[in-house]
Chains A and B, each alone.
Chain A
C-alpha cells in the first residue's frame, strides 16, 4: 500500500513534465534558440560576400567609415641597430615592478612583430607579462 502511494507521489511529481508547459516547452525553447542563432550564423557567414557586392554598388563613403583616430606622433620604439632605447626600457622596468609582487630582473626584451601588434591589447599585455622573469631572492 505504502509502495503504491510512494509510486503515485513520484508519478504526480513528474506529471508537470509531460504537460504542455513541461518538456514540450523546453524542447520548443531550445529549438527556437538554436534556430534563431543558426539563421544568424547563416546571414553573418554571407556578410563577406554581401559586403563585397554592396561595396561595388554603394562604395563605403568616408561619412560612414569610422573616423581615423588622431594618431599620436610616433616615437621610435627601437633604435636603428634594433636595440630598445633606454627610456622604453625604463617604462618596461617600471611596469614590471608594478605588476610583480617581488623584486624582479628583466632578463630579455624584444621588439614585437607586426602580426603581434595587430593582436588585441589584452593579448599584448599578457604577452609582456609572459616574458621570462626571475624573482630575486631577498
Chain B
C-alpha cells in the first residue's frame, strides 16, 4: 500500500518536472544551444550574440509543464511579453539606432563610388528570394529568407517578423550563424574570383570629411532613401537618426546612450528571445534545413556579387579599386571589412584596406535596409 502510494506520488512528481515531457528534439536543441555558448566563449565567435542566443535556445527547449504558460508561444507568459519586441519588430529598429550612433560614414563620404558595391551585394538577397520561390516557399517566406543575404541580423529579424513570423527563429539563427562565419565563408570566394595582382592593388587614402558634411549626410540620405523606398523608413530612419545624434556634436549624451547601454539591453533581449523561440517543435523542421542552405547560398552570392561588381567597375576606372573590398558590401559590420583587410594583407602585408572596405560595408547596411523595405512594401499586401 505504502509502495503504491509512493510510486503514484513519484509519478505525479515526474509530471511536474520537465523530464516528463522531454523529447529528443529538445535534447538536440539544448546541445545546439550549448555549442553556441561554447563557440562564443572558447572561440570568440560573435560572443555578444551567441551567448544570449545560445542560452535562449537552452531556455526555449526546456519542456513546459502542462497548464503553466512558460514559453514565448504561451499566451500570457512572461517570455511572450519579452518576445513581443521581436514578434512586432520593435527591437531591430532600436538596434539600428545604436548602430547609427556607432557608425562613421566618413570613408563612404570621401569615396562615394564605393557605395555601388553595397548595392551590388544585394543581388544575393534577390537571387535567394527567387531560389526560395522555386523551392516552394510562399513569396512572403521567400522574401524573409532572401534578406539573410543582406548579412544584417536586425534587418532579417525585422522583415521575417513582418512577412513570415513562423520562420523567424530559423531565419534569425541562420542570419546570425552566417554572420559569425563570415571569416570562414568569404575568403575562399574572394580568392577564387580575384587574381593575385588584383588582390595587391593599393588604394589612395581618402580625403578628410568636414563636420558639416557628416551632419548634413544623415538627413539627406534619410530623405533620399525613404522617398524611393518608404518601406525602409523604420530601419533607415533609426539608423540615420542615430548617426545624426552622433555627428551633430550637441547630443553626445544621447548618442553615448544609444551606442552603449541601450543597444546592449536590446541586444540581450533580442538574442535571448530569438533563442528562446527555437523550441524543437517549431525549429526542427525540413523548412529550417532549407533556410540554412538558402542562407549559405545568399551569403556566397552576395559576396561574389560584390567582388565581381568591383572588377566590373575597374573596367571603367582609371584609379583601380581593390576588388576584395566588394566582399564588404554584404554588410555584417565590421566583420566583412576585417576579412577584406585580412585577405588583402595575406597578399601584401603593407596594404591597408580596412578603411576602404568600411565604405561598401556601411553602404551595405543602407542597401539591405532598402531591399528589406522594398520586399516588405511589395509583399505585405
- A, B from the same assembly: yes
Q: Is there contact, CB below 8 Å, between A41 and B349?
A: no
* CA A25 to CA B134, docked complex, whole Å: 14
Question: Contact residue range for chain B?
Answer: 35 or more
The CA of A123 and the CA of B379, in the complex, are separated in Å by 44
Does A22 touch B at the CB level, under 8 Å?
Answer: yes
Given A37-B115, A45-B112, verify A26-B370 contact (CB < 8 Å). no
- Are A122 and B354 also in contact (CB < 8 A) when A36-B225, A51-B212 are? yes
Cβ contacts under 8 Å, A19 to chain B: 139
Give chain B residues whose Cβ lies under 8 Å from the Cβ of A136: none
Interface of chain A, main secondary structure: helix
In whole angstroms, what is the CA distance A67 to B250 when docked?
10
0 or 1 for each of A2-44: is its CB under 8 Å from B? (1 = yes): 0000000000011011010111011111101111111111011
**Interface residues of A toward B: which range?**
35 or more
- Proximity string of chain B (96-114) to chain A, C-beta cutoff 8 Å, 1 when within and 0 when not: 0000000000001100110
**CB 8 Å contact bits of B214-245 with A (1 = contact, 0 = none):** 01110011001100110000000000000000
The answer to whether A32 and B374 touch (CB under 8 A), given A43-B220, A122-B352, is yes
CA A27 to CA B210, docked complex, whole Å: 37
Q: How far is the CA of A27 from the CA of B378 in the complex (A)?
A: 12
| Selected interface stretch from B7-15, B81-89, B125-133, B253-261 | B125-133
A120 within 8 A of B: yes
A67 to B211, CA, bound (A): 10
| B115–A29 CB distance below 8 A | no
**Interface segment, one of A58-66, A84-92, A100-108:** A58-66
Contacts A/B (CB < 8 Å), 21 sampled: A16-B133, A29-B122, A29-B375, A32-B229, A36-B228, A36-B366, A40-B112, A40-B224, A41-B112, A41-B113, A64-B215, A118-B205, A119-B352, A120-B355, A122-B354, A122-B355, A123-B352, A126-B341, A126-B345, A130-B349, A130-B350
The 8 closest A-B pairs by CB, nearest first: A21-B139, A26-B126, A44-B112, A29-B374, A36-B228, A37-B119, A16-B133, A123-B352
